[in-house]
């Protein structure tokens, strides 16, 4: 694949969703399709044509604009083979472990199950970004609607193993709620407080943020470090993660 310098654009959709456009070599890929109007406006503003829509999971707020965007652009639709029965019509199916091409860029498909079964993430090394949908999120992770704690913990570990400079392009702006919870369980974390203050002041975006920042501030990635304060020192790391997820669900 040709070497190029990709451009990443974050598109706010609905009330708190994010979609992402990556453009390189005259081609563009969209990650998730929550709302057509802002996505089509972002494309028009830059004079970009859309080649591919890559879907992370089946929830309506990530797929409901696919038909309208395809009608306007003719873009190809890519998604998980395991979720074909509940995604929009797919032109190409993928599975975890696949290395594929998206609009001229290499993409690695990562198993991100937990929020839903069949949830995938897309890592683009050239763009130094990973589209994580509702798995690894800014200062948080998705609720376990279909999977369980071990499934999500394994997914988070796969994502945490990516290069630290990778931008985590998550599906929602839940920074206020996630930040408040993070502070409640990790109050002495100065990096966390700095991040929250910068977002509140408009100095930094909620997402995307580098994986290095998430590793330093996201309590779900810091489950092992927080285990002692949860009364779980010496327990498997997944136990601390499960406790944190349960606490967040009740917060």
Please give the Cα distance from 64 to 39 (Å, whole number). Answer: 13
Look at residue 136 and tell me whether its pLDDT is greater than 70.
yes
Instruction: State CA 181 to chain mean position distance.
Output: 19
- Span 29-56, pLDDT tens digits: 999 999 999 999 999 999 999 999 999 9
143 neighbors 114 (Cβ within 8 angstroms): no
**Confidence at residue 102, expressed as pLDDT on a 0 to 100 scale:** 97
CA-nearest of 155, 75, 167, 88 to 117 is 155
pLDDT, average across residues 10-27: 96
Any known ligand binding at 61? Answer: yes
Any known ligand binding at 98? Answer: no
CA-nearest of 14, 17, 23 to 105 is 23
Look at residue 3 and tell me whether its pLDDT is greater than 80.
no
More confident residue, 202 or 223: 223
- With 0-12 / 13-18 / 19 or more C-beta atoms within 10 angstroms meaning exposed / middle / buried, residue 24 is buried
Q: Which distant-in-sequence residues (6+ apart) come within 8 Å of 233 by Cβ? A: 227
Alpha helices in the chain (DSSP H): 36-46, 60-63, 66-73, 149-160, 175-185, 190-200, 211-217, 223-226, 237-250
- Span 81-135, pLDDT tens digits: 999 999 999 999 999 999 999 999 999 999 999 999 999 999 999 999 999 999 9
**Confidence at residue 87, expressed as pLDDT on a 0 to 100 scale:** 98
Can you give the residue ranges of every domain in the chain? 7-250
Look at residue 1 and tell me whether its pLDDT is greater than 50.
no
Q: Is the overall model pTM greater than 0.85, yes or no? A: yes
Q: Is residue 78 helix, strand or coil?
A: strand
Name the CATH architecture for the domain at 7-250.
4-Layer Sandwich (3.60)
Cβ atoms < 10 Å from Cβ of 11: 20
Please give the Cα distance from 156 to 134 (Å, whole number). Answer: 11
Look at residue 2 and tell me whether its pLDDT is greater than 50.
no
Angle subtended at Cα 192 by Cα 186 and Cα 193, rounded to the nearest 5 degrees: 100
DSSP structure class, residue 242: H
Please give the Cα distance from 136 to 160 (Å, whole number). Answer: 9
CA-nearest of 214, 220, 216, 215 to 243 is 220
144 neighbors 134 (Cβ within 8 angstroms): no
- Span 55-72, pLDDT tens digits: 999 999 999 999 999 999
Any known ligand binding at 119? Answer: no
- Span 209-251, pLDDT tens digits: 999 999 999 999 999 999 999 999 999 999 999 999 999 999 8
């Amino acid at each position: 694949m040709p070497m190029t310098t990709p451009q990443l654009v974050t598109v706010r959709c609905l009330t708190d969703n994010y979609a992402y456009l990556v453009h390189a070599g005259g081609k563009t890929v969209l990650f998730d399709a929550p709302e057509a109007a802002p996505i089509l406006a972002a494309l028009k503003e830059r004079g970009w044509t859309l080649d591919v829509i890559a879907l992370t999971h089946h929830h309506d707020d990530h797929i409901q604009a696919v038909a309208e965007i395809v009608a306007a652009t003719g873009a190809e639709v890519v998604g998980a083979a395991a979720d074909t029965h509940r995604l929009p019509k797919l032109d190409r199916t993928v599975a975890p472990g696949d290395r594929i091409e998206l609009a001229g860029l290499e993409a690695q498909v990562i198993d991100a199950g937990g929020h839903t079964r069949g949830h995938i993430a897309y890592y683009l090394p050239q763009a130094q970004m990973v589209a994580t949908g509702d798995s690894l999120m800014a200062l948080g992770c998705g609720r376990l609607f279909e999977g369980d704690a071990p499934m999500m913990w394994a997914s988070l570990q796969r994502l945490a193993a990516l290069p630290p400079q990778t931008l985590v392009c998550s599906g929602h702006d839940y920074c206020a709620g996630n930040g408040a919870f993070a502070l409640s369980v990790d109050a002495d974390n100065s990096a966390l407080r700095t991040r929250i203050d910068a977002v509140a002041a408009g100095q930094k975006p909620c997402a995307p943020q580098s994986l290095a920042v998430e590793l330093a501030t996201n309590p779900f990635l810091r489950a092992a470090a927080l285990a002692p304060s949860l009364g779980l020192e010496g327990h498997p790391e997944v136990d601390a993660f499960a406790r944190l997820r349960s606490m967040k669900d009740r917060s």
